[in-house]
Structure 1
Amino acid sequence: MIDIRVESFLAVWENRSYTKASEKLRITQPAVTQHIKSLEKQYGCKLIVYENRGLKLTKAGEIFFRYAQNAKVNEKNIIQKIREINKETKTMKFAATLTIGEFTIASILGDLVKTFNQYNITMHVDNTEVVLKMLQEGKISFALVEGLFNKADYEARLLKSASFILIAPPTHPLVTKKPIFLHELKNETIIVREKGSGSREVLERGIYEKNYTLEYFEKTIEIGNVNVIKEMVKSGVGLSFMYEDAAREDINKGHLAEVKIQDFTIQREFNFIYLKNQMIEAEIDMFYSFFKNNMI
C-alpha cells in the first residue's frame, strides 16, 4: 500500500490546497502538513512552497511528484492484476483525443476487439486536457493523443504524422484562389475547438508563430464537437482548421474542400503515451504495436 505521506503529497498538489487535500483524504489539515514535513525531512529538501499566494512544486518536488504518481498508478495495476489471476478475461482501459478516437482509429476498433478478445476493453474519447488528467490519475493505462504535452512526463511513442489543414465549403472563393496567405483570412469567420482541446492549442501556437492571435480574424466561434464544426463549415457559417484525418472522408466526397495556405503549414505528431516505469509495459507494448501497424 502506498505511503500515506505520499498520498498526502499527491492530494495537496493535485488540489493545490492543504484544506482540500485533507477533505479528500478525510484526515485533519495538520496531519497533511505533518506528512509533507516528514517527507521533506526524509529527503532533505523542500518539495512544496508558497509563491504568489499559491502552491508551487520545487525542482525536487517535480521529480518526486512524477515518481509518486507512477507509484500510485502501479499500485492500482497490482490490485487489478491480482484480481485477474483466476479470471479468463483481463481489463484494459485507454483514452484517445477526439480526432484520433472519432476518425483515425474508428475503422479499426472492431479489429482491436477481435485481436485482444481476452480483454474487456474500455475506450474514452475526450480533449487532450481531460485525457492527460485521466492518465495522470491512473484511470487509464495509455492514451492516443494529437495535442501538445510535456514528453518529460511520459513515455511517448510516435504513431504517425498528421497534417493540420484549413477546410471550407467547396463553393468558397478561397478554394480556387491561389496562392493564399494567412493574412487573407482576416475577414473570415473561423470556427475553433474549445479551450483544453489539443487542436485549439496547435492552432493558437501555429498562428502565434506568425505573429497572429485568434483576435486577428473577423469573428471566431467556439464549438466542442468536430462533427458539428464540419456541418457548420458545409453550411457556410465559417472556415475551420482541423486535422486532415477528421475531414478526409468529406473532402473525398466533395462535401468539404481543403484551402492550402502558402505561408502556413503544420505537421503534428499523433503519439501513444503512458506513464513511466509501468509494471504492465509488456501489455502496453502489444497495444502500441497494434495501433502503429493498423493506423492509416
Structure 2
Amino acid sequence: MLDARYQTFLVLSQTLSYTQTAHRLYITQPAVTQQIKSLEAELDVQLVSYQRPHLTVTSAGTELAAFVQRVQVEADKLVTGLRTPQGRQSLTFSTTLSLSEFLAPRLIQTIQAATALRQINCQVTNTRTALTAIDQGTSDFALIEGNFDKQRYDYRVVRQEPFVGVVASTSDLVGQTMVSWRDLIDQPLLIRELGSGSRDILISLAQAANVDLADFKQVITVNNPAAIRQLLLRNVGVSFVYRSVVADELADGRLHELPLAAGTVIHDLALVYAKDSFFASDYQRWAQKL
C-alpha cells in the first residue's frame, strides 16, 4: 500500500485545486501543500506546476497519478477478495457496442462456465469510456475494438476481424469490380459517434487514402450499430463495420460487401485490463477461450 501522500497527490491531479483536495480529504490546505512538496522532494521530481490561479500536472505527475490509481484499484479488489472467504462474488466488464452484438455474449458464457460468480455485470459503451472505467476501477476489464495505449494497459488479442465497407444490395455501388475511397464520397456516410473505436478506425482508413469526412456528400452520425444496420438495409448510405455485425444480412444477400481497392482491413479485437492486474490470469484464460 502507498502512503497518504500518494493518495493526496492522486486527488490533487483530479481536482487541480489545493482547496478542493483539502475539502475532499478532510485536511487543511497547508497540509495538502506540505504533502505534495514532501513527495516531490523524496522522489526528486516535479509533479505539479502552480501559477495562480492555475495548477497543472507535469508529464511525470500524470504518469505517477495513473500508477497510483492503478495500485489503489487493484488493492481495493484484493482486499475485497480477502474479506470474502468463498472467493470472488461479482465481476463487471465493459464492451463496445459493436462487440456487444457478437463477442460479449460468448464471453459471458465463458465466464459463466468457468466460475461460480453470483453477479456478472456487462456495461455497453464506447472505447473511450470503457478505458476510463478500467482506470477508475468501475470495470474489471473491457472488450475493445479501437486503438488504445498498449504501454498503459495489459491486453490479449481475442480475435482478428475484417472491417469492411457495406451497402444495401440495391445500391448503385453493387456490381463494381473495384471501389476506391474516392468512389464513396458521393454517398452519405454512416459513422459512429465520437469516442467509438469503429469511428477512429474508419477515419484512419480514410485519411490513409487522403480522404476526409468533410469530403463526403453527407455524414450521418449514429451511436448504435443496430441502427446503422437498419439504415444500410434502407439504402441510406455506406458504412464500415465488422463483418460479424452484418454476417446474417451479407449471407442472405440483403447487404453487400464492397470490393475495396485498398483491400480488406483486419483489425485486432482485444480484452484489455489494468497493467499488472492481480486477476490477470483469469482474464488471460477467458481471452484464450474466446
Answer yes or no: same fold by TM over 0.5.
Answer: yes
1:253 aligns with 2:249: no
> In the TM superposition, what is the alpha-carbon distance from 1:151 to its structure 2 partner?
0.4
SS of the aligned residue for 2:74 comes to helix
TM-score by length of structure 1 reads 0.87
Equivalent residue, structure 1, for 2:286: 290
SS of the aligned residue for 1:152 comes to coil
Equivalent residue, structure 2, for 1:5: 5
User: 2: distance between equivalents of 1:202 and 1:26?
Assistant: 45
User: 2: distance between equivalents of 1:77 and 1:44?
Assistant: 31
> In the TM superposition, what is the alpha-carbon distance from 1:164 to its structure 2 partner?
1.1
> In the TM superposition, what is the alpha-carbon distance from 1:186 to its structure 2 partner?
1.4
Equivalent residue, structure 2, for 1:48: 48
The percent identity for this pair of structures is 27
SS of the aligned residue for 1:174 comes to coil
Change (3 A) 1:106 1:256: farther
Change (3 A) 1:270 1:18: farther
CA contact (8 A) 1:2 1:75 kept: no
> In the TM superposition, what is the alpha-carbon distance from 1:24 to its structure 2 partner?
4.4
User: 2: distance between equivalents of 1:2 and 1:229?
Assistant: 47
User: 2: distance between equivalents of 1:103 and 1:18?
Assistant: 46
SS of the aligned residue for 1:159 comes to strand
Deviations 1:32-66 (A, max 9, x none): 33332221111011023369x672432x3244233
User: 1: distance between equivalents of 2:19 and 2:240?
Assistant: 42
Change (3 A) 1:180 1:9: same
Deviations 1:173-224 (A, max 9, x none): 2121111111011111001101011111111122122222111111101111
Q: Give the alignment of 1:1-296 within 5 angstroms.
A: 2-18=2-18, 20-22=20-22, 24-49=24-49, 55-58=56-59, 60-85=60-85, 87=86, 90-107=89-106, 109-263=108-262, 265-281=264-280, 285-294=281-290
User: 2: distance between equivalents of 1:40 and 1:74?
Assistant: 24
> In the TM superposition, what is the alpha-carbon distance from 1:260 to its structure 2 partner?
2.1
SS of the aligned residue for 1:190 comes to strand
Change (3 A) 1:25 1:193: farther
Letter in 2 for 1:165: V
Change (3 A) 1:280 1:110: closer
User: 1: distance between equivalents of 2:184 and 2:135?
Assistant: 38
Change (3 A) 1:260 1:67: same
Change (3 A) 1:6 1:92: same
User: 2: distance between equivalents of 1:19 and 1:238?
Assistant: 52
TM-score by length of structure 2 reads 0.89
SS of the aligned residue for 2:49 comes to strand
User: 2: distance between equivalents of 1:277 and 1:111?
Assistant: 22
Change (3 A) 1:214 1:30: farther
User: 1: distance between equivalents of 2:209 and 2:188?
Assistant: 19
Deviations 1:136-160 (A, max 9, x none): 0111222111111000001121111
Change (3 A) 1:50 1:89: closer
CA contact (8 A) 1:74 1:279 kept: yes
User: 2: distance between equivalents of 1:146 and 1:290?
Assistant: 17
Q: Which runs of 5+ in 2 are unaligned?
A: none
